[in-house]
Amino acid sequence: MFTFYTADRPFGVSKAYSQSAAMIQEVFASDYVINNEYVQETMPRVIEGIGVDWLWMFALGIFIGAFISSAMSGEFKKEALE
C-alpha cells in the first residue's frame, strides 16, 4: 500500500500491452503508427523510436517474476491446450 500512496502515477499494465502492439506495428506499418491519434496522445516516445519506458519494464518484470516464482515452486508445467 505504501507504493500506491507514494507513487506519482498508478500502476497498470494495459498501457504496456498497447505500447508493445504499437512497437510491433511500427516495424510493419510505421505510417499508421505515426498518424494514429491514440499513439500520438498517449505514447509519443513510440513515435520517437523509444517505445520502452519504466511502465513497460515494470510489466516485463511482472511477467519474468511470475515465471521465476512458478519455476522455483515447481508449479510451472508445459501443457497442451485442448
Q: Is residue 65 scored above 90 in pLDDT?
A: yes
- What is residue 78's predicted lDDT score, i.e. its pLDDT? 80
Question: What φ, ψ does residue 59 adopt, rounded to 5°?
Answer: -65, -40
pLDDT in tens, 17-58: 888 888 888 889 888 888 888 888 888 777 777 778 888 888
Kindly tell me the burial class for residue 43, based on how many C-beta atoms sit within 10 Å of its own C-beta (0-12, 13-18, 19 or more): buried
Q: Which long-range contacts (CB under 8 A, 24 or more apart) does 43-52 make?
A: 43/15, 43/18, 43/19, 46/19, 46/22, 51/19, 51/20, 51/22, 51/23, 51/26, 52/23
